[in-house]
Amino acid sequence: MGRIARTFDALKATGTPGLVTYVTAGDPDLARTAGILRSLDRAGADVLEVGVPFSDPLADGPVIQRATERALASGTTLRGVLDMVASVRADVKAPIVIFSYANPVLRFGAERFADQARDAGVDGVLILDLPIEEAEEFRGLLAARGIDTILLLSPTTTDLRLRKAAALGSGFLYAISRLGVTGARDAVADGAEEMVRRIRAVSSLPVALGFGISKPEHVREVGRWADAAVVGSALVNVIAEAGASNDLDRRVEEYVRWLKS
């Protein structure tokens, strides 16, 4: 049993909603990202999503787009992200999921990526724009190396494609609670509970629900239906505000402890 499965089993045993955190690798630079990952782990984040910066982040709102621009300007590459993950793996207890668009992985080489992800200690991979219909071969590459394939589901995903995702995915399923781009919101989307219900009807995999989560009350609300809440833009914004300051790691840790409260 891998780290992701063990993590969600432990959450289920305690009845506690999990927290999945997303950061853009390389913002403000890869050395600081390594410190951020250690801070997230200390603060109790249950799964760490590490975003690979890409020049055309079509599903991301302005906060993550700007983080991606800063990361690319600092020279961040997919190879550099994997090396950074390898450097922190021994210090971090939480599972680490690489979050990427397909283009960087295809340019790197899918098999080479799978090998180096395994060597770095990556637990799961989510390719944002990889269609479920084309995911089986990539899933095979990852599964052969003990890495989970995390699939993304939206409110417009048909029941047929939900069943395909349930058959192909492993680790957990990532459900987005609203259409549009990423970004913090004042409230959880109205259709979030129904989205989770539809997934539960076809899959026993844990469900993590994201898009718009920024406050402890959001985490509590999502925890009524899903196994974990995903926070991305709000955390990336904390990192942007702290920048290269000496208290970056402290502010990240305090924010995540607040969310977990």
Question: What is the SS3 assignment for 229?
Answer: strand
The answer to whether 221 is a known catalytic residue is no
Q: How confident is the model at residue 59 (pLDDT cuts 50, 70, 90)?
A: low
Total domains, the chain: 1
Catalytic entry in 60, 148, 221, 253: 60
Per-residue pLDDT tens over the stretch 246-257: 999 999 999 999
What percent of the chain clears pLDDT 70, i.e. is strictly above it?
94
Q: How confident is the model at residue 178 (pLDDT cuts 50, 70, 90)?
A: low
| Cis omega (within 30 of 0) for bond into 104 | no
Whether the pLDDT of residue 201 is over 70: the answer is yes
The two three-digit tokens of residue 232, written as one number: 């991305």
Phi, psi of 231 (to 5 degrees): -115, 130
What's the pLDDT at 180? 42
The answer to whether 49 is a known catalytic residue is yes
Whether the pLDDT of residue 29 is over 50: the answer is yes
What's the pLDDT at 244? 79
What's the pLDDT at 199? 94
* Domain extent for 213: 3-260
Question: What is the SS3 assignment for 45?
Answer: coil
Whether the pLDDT of residue 167 is over 60: the answer is yes
Report the C-alpha gap between 157 and 152 in whole angstroms: 9
Whether the pLDDT of residue 18 is over 50: the answer is yes
Q: Dihedral sign for Cα 87, 103, 125, 47, please.
A: positive
The CATH number of the domain holding residue 173 is 3.20.20.70
What percent of the chain clears pLDDT 90, i.e. is strictly above it?
75
Catalytic entry in 49, 227, 249, 253: 49
The two three-digit tokens of residue 207, written as one number: 């469900």
Range with the largest mean pLDDT of 59-73, 77-91, 195-209, 228-242: 77-91
